Structure 1
């Protein structure tokens, strides 16, 4: 799974595919103001990734920019992890598993 050429943008569909390929139930949801958030039901908790730009016509086309992407939980005490710019979908999926530890 690779992101678009010449860009730090990656679609929700690329991340969702990586998660579902590993047996994780997940979805992209509009969390207000056109913001996209990915939710994944992991073994220990729900892990989220965001923010992204929600595509109302096709949610899987929602775009996330790795210049400003966070993966973690909804727990206020969880600092989560900021995804390094240019990360691939596979690297983002691995961040979901790291956040579940």
Structure 2
């Protein structure tokens, strides 16, 4: 029996947005399956914004794709902790957490 957890934030390659002269693939940033933003390759690394659990945009600077993937994993854990806390508050009748 395996349990699959769906990620809140995902990075999806976007070859349709890649220009002919670009060497690195751009990525779509998906939040709950909807396009939130994009990651594009600048001179030394990828640039873009990631969504946070409090609804803001996070800019980690010009980093490698693996750094963005690590940050996405951290943010997904933050989303899951936040949704678990919201669920426990609503079960206890504490609607405005």
By the TM > 0.5 criterion, same fold?
no
Give the number of the structure whose residues are more often strand, by fraction.
1
Higher share of residues assigned helix: 2
- TM-score, structure 1 as length reference: 0.35
Q: Whose radius of gyration is greater, 1 or 2?
A: 2
Structure with more contact order per residue of length (Cα contacts < 8 Å, sep ≥ 6) = 1
